[in-house]
Structure 1
Amino acid sequence: MMNDDLFEILEDATLGTEWQEWMKEAERASVLVNLRRPETWAVLRQPAKNIAAMRWLTGKLRRLRPSLSPKAPSECALYILAAHCRDNTVTGYVTDTFVNSYRTQHRAGTLFCMEVVGRMTLHDEYPHLNALYNLMMGLALKEWRRLLEGDEDYPCFLTEADFRRVERSLPDFRYGGFKEMVRIMTGNRPVGTLTAGELAARCHQSETVFRERFKEEFGQPVAEWLRERRKEDILAMLSDTAIPLSDVSERNGFHSLSTLSDYCQRNFGKSPSLLRKDTAG
């Protein structure tokens, strides 16, 4: 059963109006909906065909519930009901509810809206939702890039687990997985300035969980992997004679050329200048 008072509020609003019986029908259908079983959503097709009633309902919902809470079953059922309606005004409510959840960084609401639209457009039965699906795809990719790039001004509000859920909801979204995420995060900057804690934070994981997952996926501790990558980065930069040694030092987290030189002697047995000569030759 629906356990919040939204239907009571809506039914009270229909008293003495032409929507009274229709609202009861919509509630009876909504009670049969299992939010985790999309095949049960079909019971909402019939009440969704009443365009005038649906416009009245979504007008009320805009004021009562401008954003969606997946913890409220009636809100979710009514959102699915609105998604079934092929009227542009009603579809506008479906779109605006998603956009409001996204703009306020409401994770659960954003993900639920994506799941509803993704499931309903899976077999091209609801073409009126295609534009919203495309919008969701674009925003999902935008947030994925933010997560990978570690955007400090506009950080991603979704987690790695969230993107796995998005991939299940939006068939055209491809989540690359933990390994690809780590490699992309470390691919655009020398890892000498990175720590396991920073990578864990970008993945929205605790450092303990991140270290365990990293060892499971890569077969070695994160610190060891970072050390190896640091060596590769330094050798690659030394092979490029256009990069001054001072830049090699700074970009790899060394405080001075002498510190870089000490590192190279310990790890490669040669000074940076000799390594550059060898690799460039």
Structure 2
Amino acid sequence: MQELEQHVGETKGLSPSMLNATKDDQNHNQYNAAMSTTNLAKNRNKDVLPMDDKRVYLVSYGKGRSDYINAVQVPSYTKFVGYITTQLPLPDTKVDFWTMIRDHSSSTIVLIINKANEADLVYSQSGDDLTIGPFGIKISARKKGENDITKITMVLSRKDDKPRQVVLFQAICNSIPDPAVVGKLADLISTRANMSNDPITVVSSDGAKNCGLFCAFTNAVSSMQIDNHADIFQLVRLLQLRRPEFFTDFEEYKRCYEALNLHLESANVYANF
């Protein structure tokens, strides 16, 4: 682990200040939708907003709503839109969240939260059927597995649409998830990602912290599998082009290396960092 940290801090020549310096200068003119009077209250963190040309658009929004949600599309290693990263819904934006899931045909959700009760902003932890706007959400199965990751299978229904199965993987962590948790989440979604072109929705408190970590790690694993090499720094930079607030916490960068190192050890794969 000491060698790994040395690699992060010296071989790449990175420091927290340098990592932040890689972010593009933000122009407020790029955030017109997010900062509009109609939408500003829909943002959990006013410092983490989607750029106009990167944001996810809602299509089938109802009366009194708009096409806005605090979410961005980001690439996986093999797909231009592999993930949708979004903030934990606010009480008033739960309907927007499920509208996005339906409109963009996302059938897999990764939910990384800090407190268990935050999950109630996405689904009913009591197992009761839930109605959010025009949507019905029914939990059909729930199972707690390794690393305290819970798998929830649910059915999303709407009057004008066929019911759809959505699978959610939930991890609760105080701040940044342990390397083993990051790796296990990636393992759980890998099969579903390979079988479908639909984007995977990744949710964290502000839609940046931990979302970027998960996406960068899964992209690094794919890079190792396809090219036998992973340049995490460059993978992170590609994500930051979509959401500059990814990896503003230097510890996330180190955690990504730790998770990849653990993955390579468990897979008995040689990596030439």
Q: Report the TM-score, using the length of structure 1 for normalisation.
A: 0.27
Q: Which has the higher helix share?
A: 1
Structure label with greater radius of gyration: 1
Bigger share in strand: 2
Q: Normalising by the residue count of structure 2, what TM-score does the alignment of the two structures yield?
A: 0.27
